[in-house]
Amino acid sequence: MLSNLEKQQITRLVRHWVVPAIGCTEPICVALAVSRATQELGTTPARIEVHLSANILKNAMGVGIPGTGMVGLPIAIALGALIGRPERELECLQDVNAEAVERAKAFLADDSRIAIDLKSDAPDKLYVEAVVHDGAGHTATAVIAGQHTHYIYIARASQVLLDERNATRATAADGEANPANDMEQLRHTLTLRKVWEYATTMPLSEIEFINEARRLNEAAAQRSLEGNYGHCLGKALSRPLGKGIMGDNIFSHILSSTSCACDARMAGAMIPVMSNSGSGNQGICATNPVVVFAEENHNTAEEMTRALMLSHLTAIYIKLNLGTLSALCGCVVASTGSSCGITYLMGGTYEQTSYAVKNMIANLTGMICDGAKPSCALKLTSGVSTAVLSAMLAMQGNCVSSVEGIIDDDVDQSIRNLVGIGAEAMNETDRKVLDIMTHKT
């Protein structure tokens, strides 16, 4: 049974990790750090340095920046300095318009103004250090680490305004309402059964906020059809040829809705989505399959709400231990959440939901993250197609057994096995991926 404290902590955890975002969160995170440093500098920088962890660099190289028609870090950095609003966090570039883009292009015309480098000794896989100079000897610094909006260091010239660089993880003594404390406690105590209990038994009025994810991500998928974004995978699936091959059914609609939203987001459309655990794609992957299935299966509004909460909270549970960024593609985690949500909508029990999780881990573990980019839509489609198949098998009582591969009889141990591979064993894979991406001819 969940205690009242656990219920409160989980609610705060979901509200913390399920938030709106415009654009890919890695370059936006860099823009956020630059905008905060610029705010402390008090003037438009003459020169900007950013020092980035490998995972930030990898995820920011090939993705479109909203409202610019351009790809990559330089334009995001310039806009962060010129029009960034740090108080808006992952929506800090919300004010981008044609005039701002032209100002940013003029700023970038002098290629000595921005320096970007890999911080090989970064203390976290998510690490952004922005140092801005005014040209008269004054500087300001902002460092984000661990989470896309978490500052660990802010300084104006020699005046240190914040320094948590050597802080240890929060403990219970730090205060139960501390988000970091919630995460640290739940990292050790949360289980899939508690996730299930929270999503299926909490008073509806206390979890209805999750429906904002439906509103934003469903709208993103629909708006994607109004343009030609990325590789147009979502459009391809919804066109006559796509329907002729894939059919015109719940399954194909799930794939189309999910890939549509991803197409637009990765291409840099100025369309907000609801993120999960610091990733818009993960938010899409945890939302759209559940919404489409619920709508077309004629589930009730309450069932859809609970399924969305189950999906998002499952993804958060896994990411608590995997980390915000890893070598493992985030769609593996988010689509595992959506498989749980779909299983619930099919009338599944907790046991059948645990089967779906095991089926997902048996199939998708090892899918690499090779950066944020338009082709992420292909990976999301692979993930959510597996989510549907895993739910179908689970409803029939079919589950990958503990004699097969990395699956354990205990579903939470199976999740820990996934985390161990993604957070530890794939680190060398991550280094090789970055090496390939940065040494293309």
Q: Long-range CB contacts (< 8 A, 24+ apart) of 13-16?
A: 13/179, 13/182, 13/183, 13/186, 13/316, 14/210, 14/309, 14/312, 14/313, 14/316, 15/209, 16/179, 16/182, 16/183
Decide: 53 and 431 in contact? Cβ < 8 Å: no
CA-wise closest residue to 26 among 148, 193, 155: 148
- For 156, the domain range is 20-163
Residue 174's contacts (CB-CB under 8 Å, 6 or more residues apart) are 180, 181
Same domain, 150 and 58: yes
Q: What CATH number does the domain containing 75 carry?
A: 3.30.1330
Same domain, 143 and 212: no
Q: What 3-state class would DSSP assign to 71?
A: strand
Same domain, 220 and 147: no
Q: What CATH number does the domain containing 312 carry?
A: 1.10.4100.10
Same domain, 188 and 134: no
Report pLDDT for 177.
Answer: 61
Q: Is residue 7 part of a domain?
A: no
Same domain, 149 and 183: no
Q: Which sign, positive or negative, has the C-alpha torsion 49, 438, 165, 30?
A: positive
Report pLDDT for 173.
Answer: 43
Q: Rounded distance, CA 152 to CA 106, Å?
A: 31
Q: Is residue 9 part of a domain?
A: no
Q: Rounded distance, CA 418 to CA 357, Å?
A: 11
Report pLDDT for 175.
Answer: 44
pTM of the model: 0.92
H helix intervals, 48-167: 54-60, 73-83, 98-108
The domain total for the chain is 2
Report pLDDT for 172.
Answer: 40
Q: What 3-state class would DSSP assign to 194?
A: helix
Q: Is residue 169 part of a domain?
A: no
Same domain, 116 and 199: no
Same domain, 147 and 45: yes
Residue 242's contacts (CB-CB under 8 Å, 6 or more residues apart) are 236, 252, 256
Structure tokens given for 372: 């944020």
Mind listing the pLDDT tens digit of every residue in the chain (441 residues)? 899 999 999 999 999 999 999 889 999 999 999 999 999 999 999 999 999 999 999 998 889 999 999 998 999 999 999 999 999 999 999 999 999 999 999 999 999 999 999 999 999 999 999 999 999 999 999 999 999 999 999 999 889 999 999 875 444 444 446 667 888 889 999 999 999 999 999 999 999 999 999 999 999 999 999 999 999 999 999 999 999 999 999 999 999 999 999 999 898 888 999 999 999 999 999 999 999 999 999 999 999 999 999 999 999 999 999 998 999 999 999 999 999 999 999 999 999 999 999 999 999 999 999 988 999 999 999 999 999 999 999 999 999 999 999 999 999 999 999 999 999 999 999 999 989 998 886
Q: Is residue 12 part of a domain?
A: no
CA-wise closest residue to 92 among 180, 14, 12, 20: 20
Q: Rounded distance, CA 255 to CA 384, Å?
A: 7
Same domain, 377 and 434: yes
Same domain, 232 and 338: yes
Same domain, 335 and 206: yes
Q: Is residue 193 part of a domain?
A: yes
Please say which residue of 132, 163, 194 terminates a domain: 163
Please say which residue of 163, 190, 220 terminates a domain: 163
Same domain, 247 and 159: no
